[in-house]
Amino acid sequence: MESSKKERIHSKKREEVFPKGERMDSNHAIWDHVLKYLREEAGYSEATYSIWFKELELEKFTDSYFYISARELYKAEFVFKMYYPQLKKAIFETLGIRTELIFFSRETHGEKIPEFIQEHIRSDLLPDDALCRARQTEEYIKEPPLSEDEKKIVGGPVGTLIKSEIPPVKDGADYTFENFIVGSTNRVAHDACVAIAKYPSEVWNPLFLYAPSGMGKTHLLYAISNEILRNHPSAVVTYTSGEDFGNNLIENLMQKKPMHYFREKYRNVDVLLVDDIQFVAGKDAVQEEFFHTFEALFQQKKQIILASDRPPKDMNKLDNRLRTRFEWGLMADIQPPELELRIAIAKSKAEFLGIEVPDHVIHFLADNIKSSVRQLEGAMKRLKHYSMIYGKVDIPLARQCISDMTPRISVDDVVNKTFDTVCQKYQVGVQDITGKRRNANIVIARHVATYILRQITELSSIEIARYFSQDHSTILSAFRNVEKKIDENPAFEEEVEELIREIRE
């Protein structure tokens, strides 16, 4: 069967990294990274992690399935019903693998688990009490997800990230000014945050940061919080989001609690940081309450820091009173990082993750992920875990890591852009480089175009030859000529690299 074929291929790749006799160790090593993600990055409480995730074991994995066991049957059922999507996400975030999950109970299935797994790989059959999405029953679909007693056990909402009503300020090495990589596109925002962290309420109030998602706004908010608390341990620093502010207000009103319960959370603080403030726009009651919260803090000379994906003037349905107040202090935007900054971020992340990445792979990732720091950091994480499985770090592996992060364009589009860019550079026409003329400037343009297509596409020399109406031996000769010239002439190498960067933009 197809699943058996995939398993043989996957097993062969794993044998390259994990020698025979270490297969169970390899499962443990891979699963440890998934558990580490759930414990440290997914946001679950320590109680939730200890009760439901800590004792899970990875029995085996293929290209299509992760076979997971829990010690007791009720735990296998509970995790299957409540955390199936979250486990799939953790596996994808840490290993870059999209997979389905099958759960066993060590209490019920015991030593027969390997036998059941092999039978499933061979014939797609499972014991009736194994848990998988393919056989999800009406009982599971209709069953209430949690009793009130179960909610008390896990210590918070299940199936979502565990949060307090006001999420705690993050700490640790991930969110400091020291590891925030600074470049020309984020320097103003960074320097403003450093100044405010040193002198809260004395320089700019409010500070309004805006940038598209994934540019580092939240990192800066947490860095401010950590720096203030390091210098002023007794300071009351509150971080929330525009959405959480609104949800907390609605919850307070629905439960008919006195409003001072709600207001004390946000007004008796020294520093208030609100991420994604754009979510208060268009909600009259929320805007009204936030306006009075802003006024109360501002009058007391308490520091206010706001972050959004757009400037106040572009927030539709934002109350004019709030718009003017958001613009009172300093507004600092963060632009998409330039190439040099993306390279620095990728190198810093590689060092933090403890992975050696060749410079040409770093440059490849930085060239291809342009719009989001978060995506670039995610690609580095994925590269680390891919390298654990495949035992190498190279361009094909990096390309695999970012396959779902970069826009998909046709090969013809790449070829056409290459022709246009090269022809403009050397002042020739597309019909010239795809024809038979042998003028010196036409030949060099033709050769450079073939070289670039070999570098940035997966086209074979035969396929490239068709675009030039040449045979593949001529294309190989052109490619070697350019390689030789690059080795001999650094200026020419930079010229070709500049063309490649322009084509990839």
pLDDT bin (cut points 50, 70, 90) of residue 407 is low
What's the confidence (pLDDT) of residue 69?
Answer: 92
Which whole number is the average pLDDT over 165-186?
Answer: 65
CB neighbour list of residue 206: distance below 8 Å, 6 or more residues apart: 294, 298, 303, 304, 305, 306, 325, 326, 328, 329
End-of-domain residue from the set 333, 349, 377? 333
| Type of residue numbered 282 | G
Retrieve residue 306's tokens.
Answer: 């706001």
End-of-domain residue from the set 100, 133, 154? 154
**Percent of the chain's residues with pLDDT above 70:** 85
Bin 252: left if φ > 0, else alpha if -120 < ψ < 50, else beta: alpha
47-51, 141-145, 492-496: segment of lowest average pLDDT: 141-145
What's the confidence (pLDDT) of residue 146?
Answer: 42
Kindly state whether residue 178 falls inside one of the protein's structural domains: no
Retrieve residue 364's tokens.
Answer: 């490849």
Q: Determine the Cα–Cα distance for residues 381 and 353; give it in Å rounded to an integer.
A: 7
pLDDT greater at residue 137 or residue 59: 59
Retrieve residue 59's tokens.
Answer: 């029995």
Residue 50 neighbours by CB distance under 10 Å: 12
pLDDT greater at residue 259 or residue 275: 275
Kindly state whether residue 166 falls inside one of the protein's structural domains: no
What's the confidence (pLDDT) of residue 408?
Answer: 56
- The 8 Å CB, 24+ separation contacts for 15-18 are 16/390, 16/391, 17/388, 17/389, 17/390, 17/391
Same-domain status, 360 and 320? no
Query: Using the 8-state DSSP alphabet, how is residue 52 labeled?
Result: I
- The number of C-alpha atoms within 13 Å of 77 and in the hemisphere containing its C-beta is 13
- Split into its structural domains, the chain has a count of 4
Kindly state whether residue 174 falls inside one of the protein's structural domains: no
Q: What is the pLDDT of residues 451-493, one digit of tens each?
A: 888 888 777 778 888 888 887 788 888 888 888 888 888 888 8
Same-domain status, 249 and 201? yes
Kindly state whether residue 369 falls inside one of the protein's structural domains: yes
Residue 223 predicted with pLDDT over 60: yes
Same-domain status, 356 and 321? no
Q: What is the pLDDT of residues 355-373, one digit of tens each?
A: 888 888 888 888 887 777 8
Kindly state whether residue 428 falls inside one of the protein's structural domains: yes
Residue 150 predicted with pLDDT over 50: no
What does the mean pLDDT of the chain come to? Answer: 79
- The 8 Å CB, 24+ separation contacts for 82-90 are 82/52, 82/145, 82/146, 82/158, 82/159, 83/52, 83/53, 83/158, 83/159, 84/133, 85/159, 86/38, 86/42, 86/159, 87/34, 87/38, 89/42, 90/34, 90/37, 90/38, 90/42
Which whole number is the average pLDDT over 41-58?
Answer: 80
Same-domain status, 15 and 147? yes
Kindly state whether residue 301 falls inside one of the protein's structural domains: yes
Give the sign of the dihedral formed by CA 13, CA 14, CA 17, CA 22: negative
Q: What is the pLDDT of residues 262-289, one digit of tens each?
A: 887 888 889 999 999 998 888 888 898 9
Here the CATH number for the domain that contains residue 380 is 1.10.8.60
Which whole number is the average pLDDT over 77-86?
Answer: 81
- Domain interval for residue 74: 2-154
| Type of residue numbered 258 | P
End-of-domain residue from the set 333, 362, 383? 333
Here the CATH number for the domain that contains residue 316 is 3.40.50.300
Q: Determine the Cα–Cα distance for residues 255 and 261; give it in Å rounded to an integer.
A: 11
Same-domain status, 7 and 108? yes
> Contact at 8 Å (CB) between 121 and 2?
no
Q: Determine the Cα–Cα distance for residues 239 and 129; give it in Å rounded to an integer.
A: 45
Kindly state whether residue 388 falls inside one of the protein's structural domains: yes
